[in-house]
Amino acid sequence: MRRDVFQAIADPTRRAIIHMIAKESLNLNAVADRFDISRPAISRHIKILTECGLIAIKQEGRERYCKPRLQKLNEVSNWVEQYRTFWTSKFDALEKFLSDTDPSSKKNISTKKNKRK
Amino acid sequence: MKNEPFVIERTFNASPERIWKAISDREQMKQWYFDIAAFKPEIGNEFEFTGTSPDGTVYVHKCKVIESVPNKKLKYSWRYDGHPGNSFVTFELFAEGDKTKLRLTHEGLETFPAIKDFAKENFAKGWTSLIGTSLGKFLEKQLSNKTA
């Protein structure tokens, strides 16, 4: 089974856990208490999140805390954002091209039929 | 386990035929897209071009046409020479009165582990804005795609 950011955020409970942990480090029991589902199920989600590198478990005294690993989460958004920027600029260029070559536009000088070189 | 593809849509003031030509005629493509010497909108056609990837690095893009339905749909594979991973770019055209909606889907981006240099400066920008905006949007989108 794959273990990466995308696997991590594929599940709604895991997304909820990420949101929770993002705001504050919580111990494992505190996380489990906020959900209606069973403790073993929560443990399993936390294990996956750990394996995906999105959270880290730190032992502090007698408690085990879930802490966010921001770098990994940035990987999701930046990487999608990069492609969004890229394709948006291409769409802008296409829009300009279509407008510049619009046969019905007054500023266009070419004939209705596309000229072939 | 499939990841949700990246999707962008825009409605252009043009007929499907004009947009089809813009995305499939190499003379027109080079005016707004890339200069692709060997491009033909024919299934099986393999082509490559040099372009700057979204992370700012210059890569040789290697592609192969998978689907081609004039004025409707064009799909090709998209990978970076010398790097692992493969993705698929699909252009779909939908006539809307005298306008045309273009939907671009880019699937398989998650297979490009090498394309990175993520984080770094953005790392410091703060978790709150990240979780509140970009990631939030991404997740919402994921969610709505899933339930759709």
pLDDT of B127 strictly over 80: no
- Looking at residue A75, its pLDDT comes to 67
Provide mean pLDDT across the span B34-58: 87
Residue B95 at interface with chain A, using a CB cutoff of 8 Å: no
User: Which has the closest alpha carbon to A78: B42, B120, B146, B106?
Assistant: B120
- Looking at residue B136, its pLDDT comes to 45
Instruction: Yes or no: say if B66 and B75 are a contact pair by the CB < 8 Å rule.
Output: yes
Q: Find the radius of gyration of the CA atoms of chain B.
A: 17
Instruction: Yes or no: say if A46 and A55 are a contact pair by the CB < 8 Å rule.
Output: yes
Contacts of A110 in chain B (CB under 8 A): none
Per-residue pLDDT tens digits for A49-108:
998 888 899 998 888 898 888 677 666 666 677 788 889 889 999 999 999 998 887 554
- Looking at residue A1, its pLDDT comes to 58
- Looking at residue B97, its pLDDT comes to 93
Provide mean pLDDT across the span A27-44: 90
Distance (Å, whole) CA A66 – CA B99: 51
Beta bridge partners of B7: B105
pLDDT of B27 strictly over 90: yes
Of A76, A86, A97, the CB nearest to B138: A76
Contacts of B131 in chain A (CB under 8 A): 18-19, 22, 73
User: Which has the closest alpha carbon to A70: B129, B52, B71, B57?
Assistant: B129
pLDDT of B9 strictly over 50: yes
Q: What is the 3-state secondary structure (H, E, C) of chain A?
A: CCCCHHHHCCCHHHHHHHHHHHHCCEEHHHHHHCCCCCHHHHHHHHHHHHHCCCEEEEEECCEEEEEECHHHHHHHHHHHHHHHHHHHHHHHHHHHHHHHCCCCCCCCCCCCCCCCC
ipTM value for the complex: 0.73
B4: which DSSP letter?
Answer: P
Residue A111 at interface with chain B, using a CB cutoff of 8 Å: no
Confidence of residue B115 (pLDDT cuts 50, 70, 90): very low
Per-residue pLDDT tens digits for B61-103:
999 999 999 999 999 999 988 888 899 999 999 999 999 999 9
Task: Average the pLDDT over each of B6-10, B11-15, B56-60, B134-138 and give the range with the smallest value.
Answer: B134-138
pLDDT of B120 strictly over 50: no
Provide mean pLDDT across the span B44-69: 88
Provide mean pLDDT across the span B45-52: 90
- Looking at residue B46, its pLDDT comes to 97
pLDDT of B129 strictly over 50: no
pLDDT of B146 strictly over 60: no
Residue A30 at interface with chain B, using a CB cutoff of 8 Å: no
Pairing of strands B58-69, B73-80: antiparallel
- Looking at residue B132, its pLDDT comes to 41
Instruction: Yes or no: say if A100 and B32 are a contact pair by the CB < 8 Å rule.
Output: no
Instruction: Yes or no: say if B77 and B70 are a contact pair by the CB < 8 Å rule.
Output: no
Close Cβ partners of A84 (under 8 Å, ≥ 6 residues apart): B6, B8
∠ CA B21-B27-B33, rounded to 5°: 75
**The dihedral sign for the CA sequence B53, A79, A1, A56:** positive
Q: Which two tokens stand for residue B129?
A: 């804005």
Residue B102 at interface with chain A, using a CB cutoff of 8 Å: yes
